[in-house]
Structure 1
Amino acid sequence: MNAHSAPSRRPAPVPADARRARWAVSLLFLLNGASFCAILPRYPELVESIGLSNTAFGLAVGIGPIGGLVAGLAAARLMRRWGSASVAVIAQVVASTSHLLVYVASSWLWLAGALIIAMAADAITDISMNSHGMRVERRYRRSIMNSYHGWWSLGAVGGGLFGSAAAQLGVALWLQGLVGLVVFGAAAVVSRWFMLAGDDATERTAPTPAPAGAVAGPAPGSAGEVPATPVPGGMRIAGMTLRSLGLVCALGMILVFAGSTEDAGSTWGALFMLDTFEVTPFAAGLAFVALQGAQTIGRFTGDAVVDRLGDRATARLGAAVSALGMTLALLVPSPATAIIGFAAAGWGVATLFPAAYRAADDMPGVPQGVGLTVVGWFARLGFFVSPPIVGALADALTLRYALWMVPLYAVGILVFSGALSGRFDRHGTGAEASGRSGTADAER
């Protein structure tokens, strides 16, 4: 056959509005990461100025996600009413405003209350910007979710470096918070102008038209099925069958452990460096920067890795790297090994949030937005539970021994990783296939 007669396999061009929306969503992810993570290197100053123990500080940080656990449940309803783009932007502006309250906290109660408000707004932003990102991904007809989360990590690194530099230079906490509110809030408002218009269900696969004389409607599990349409029959909770609910909860448990791993760097990284080694405030912030920096690399390269290995194998490889890296840091403690350990933990969990969100949003029989909401709720649960546990262990033992929880988080990821899709599942029936594979893994 003549080579010129072969059909073209080049992908269809991406519409201009989708390309603009991708950059707008990426900007929102960047701002979401930078806004809060700029606070983290200033945590030691807040702890000292308020006069908190590790247990009290861990409790305040752990109470914050209660706001996310409660507010996140309303995300699906808010998106149905106002659309994912508007909800994401408004919630991000509210989050940036509440971050200023964190900077100027003068008591434990003030700090805990400010974190509750911040986490409530962040939960809604998180779910809605991921939902809008999924809209854009469907327009692209290929995986781009890891790159969004890569922009979040890049923002987190930038925010962490900004906070570390401000701490080193002695910039007043209130001033840093005010600059963040103006810059991050204004940029979020600008991003709204470039996001996709229309209903959030626009890009979902429409039912395949039935030929004349045939019964209308796609066969269950076929490519023409609308993922958000509930499958008839069986007991339902929040519009999901018990099987679908179980799979969504398993995906959520992965994020409990992934979020707890991230929290080890964000909440305790700087304190670990200061308590264990004699380092400058800037160097103390490098533990968090290392985790987020490695996570950034993992996310920007994650789409190619997941296409080759599948979400499940990638998660298991990452869990092993995270466990080995933090084990090295805790068995052979030094500033260098600590940075390596936190970097390994960050790389290890890099693809888990995008993978779990995608699987939950694409799962057949799950109403639109509900899968994302449930999985996001579980992620907040991890941020709620882990800080008080680590803080109590740090006071009872030392922070070095308390951080042995991180290798245990990796074990939890391994246990629930079967709920993610394998190498060939991602391009087949999506989360439905991953659910079958996950069940088979559990039975083995």
Structure 2
Amino acid sequence: MQAIAARRVVSAVFFMCGTFIGLWASRIPDVKAATGLSEGWFGVLLLVLALGAFAAFPIAGAFIDKKGPATVTKASAVATVVTFTLVGVSPSVALLAVALFLAGFAFGSLDVSMNGWGAEVETVLGRPVMSSFHGLFSLGAGAAAAAGGLAIKLELSVALHFCLWAVLSLPVLFWSLRQAWPPQTGPDEERGKAPLFAIPRGALLLAGLIALIAALGEAAVTDWAALYQITDLGYSEAIAPTAFTVFSIAMVIMRLAGDRVIARYGPVPVARVSGFVAFVGGLLLVSGWNIGVVWAGCFIMGIGYAVLFPLAMSRAAADRHVSKGQALASVATLGYGAFLFGPPILGFIGQVFTLGASFAVVAFLTLVIPFLAGSLKVDP
């Protein structure tokens, strides 16, 4: 019964964590406008957020080893709510940069620890549940982005919007803090002792590149899709967050169905088709023919990207030549690195050319996935 209760709590934390991605994505244009920065300099602010998260990974890993992922998840969830509130109320670029670093640190710690807690719950239950956790993360992101569009229509300030969202998150925080979960023990390689920044090699490196491309695509839509529609395509600020919403909905649908699809067709064919589907969606987004086509492109991209990162992580966990902890850490390093550092790079491309050019780069990278997909097959 404790594992079932913990699964519900972890599900709620994943959902809440996703909402802060959607919250931030929906108000990026407003935050950028308030700072008066160009795409390139605003990309530097995104880089500050990324640096905060990346700095958290090894520290969170050390505390997870000492205290267990459940304890770190609870502390990180509280810190995430507080620091994202600070992002919303920061009155200057300098204070915003500090708040973004702290928010990135808290979010990065939460991301690592809640996945660790989810893995422990999955082990105790004896059946796969991680895909549903990630589906709820995407659902939370999409719901918050849709709420962001409503907040813009109601002309809520960024500060008020972020503060209200923090209040709405309090029930999840209290619920998670009350959930008892003893640290799980197991073989040494299962205790997360492997270096977080390990670089994969051989077939595992190719699987890591799949994770990198998938994470870059998701990050691009998260951070730049709304601004791309406003600045490049001239669409209304109020409807721009819808693109991220439909992307997230597609991610949820595919992630919830992903286990059955992979079980039926196998990881290699699914990855190859997913890469091509993501490419088609990217082309539709870049075309900018009309708002319906743009949103359709985002939906198709979500379908294509949804299972690629989970497939790469499953391949890492099943590797027969590297310990599970080191394999997962190494692939996660590439994936999280792309998610965190990719948007600032795309921002600089957008400044030199256009944001449409940034999305074109993302789209064409997916054509590499069919050639990498063979790495997802585990040698006997």
TM-score (norm 2): 0.90
Partner SS for 1:26: helix
Distance 1:62 1:52 in 2: 14
Between the aligned partners of 1:311 and 1:98, the Cα distance in structure 2 is: 38
Q: Distance in 1 between matches of 2:104 and 2:268?
A: 29
Question: What is the correspondence of 1:313-328 to structure 2 with a 5 Å cutoff?
Answer: 313-328=269-284
Shift of 1:296: 0.9
Name the counterpart of 2:70.
85
Matched, 1:141 2:126: yes
Of residues 85-94 and 101-110 in structure 1, the stretch that sits farther from structure 2 once superposed is 101-110
The 3-state SS of whatever aligns with 2:239 is helix
- Give the match for residue 163 of structure 1: 148
For the aligned residue pairs, the C-alpha RMSD in angstroms reads: 2.8
Equivalent residues of 2:149, 2:241 under 8 A apart: yes
Cα offset for 1:228? 3.6
The answer to whether 1:259 aligns with 2:244 is no
- Pair 1:258–1:239, CA change in 2 (3 A): closer
**One-letter amino acid of the structure 2 residue matched with residue 137 of structure 1:** E
What's the counterpart of residue 39 of structure 2?
54
Match of residue 304 from structure 1:
260
The SS at the match of 2:238 is helix
Please say which of residues 391-400 and 29-38 is displaced more in the overlay: 391-400
CA contact (8 A) 2:69 2:117 kept: yes
Please show how residues 181-260 of structure 1 align to structure 2 within 5 Å: 181-194=166-179, 197-201=181-185, 228=190, 238=195, 246=202, 248-260=204-216
CA distance in 1, matches of 2:266, 2:98: 41
Q: 1:331 to 1:229 in 2, by over 3 A?
A: closer
* Pairing 1:418–2:370 present: no
For residue 66 of structure 1, report the CA deviation from its aligned partner: 1.4
- Which has the larger share of helix? 2
How do 1:245-394 residues align onto structure 2 when only pairs under 5 Å count?
A: 246=202, 248-331=204-287, 333-363=289-319, 369-394=325-350
**3-state SS, counterpart of residue 199 of structure 1:** coil
Question: In structure 2, do the counterparts of structure 1 residues 153 and 40 end up closer, same or farther at CA, with 3 Å as the change threshold?
Answer: same
Q: Matches of 1:307 and 1:184 in 2, distance apart?
A: 36
Aligned residues: 380
TM-score w.r.t. structure 1 length? 0.78
Do the aligned partners of 1:229 and 1:366 also contact (CA within 8 Å) in 2? Answer: no
AA matched with 2:298 = F
Q: Report the CA distance shift for 1:371/1:176 in structure 2 as closer, same or farther (over 3 A).
A: farther
Deviation at 1:94, TM superposition (A): 0.8
| CA offset digits 1:208-259 (Å, max 9, x no partner) | xxxxxxxxxxxxxxxxxx86499xxxxxx849999x7555544433222112
Contact 1:132–1:200 (CA under 8 A) maintained in structure 2: no
SS in 2 for 1:284: coil
Distance 1:239 1:112 in 2: 25
* CA shift for structure 1 position 367: 5.5
Q: 2:354 aligns to what?
A: 398
Unaligned runs of 5+ in 1: 1-15, 205-225, 231-236, 422-433, 438-444
Measure, in 1, the Cα distance between the counterparts of 2:262 and 2:232: 37
Alpha-carbon contact 1:76-1:370 (below 8 Å) kept: no
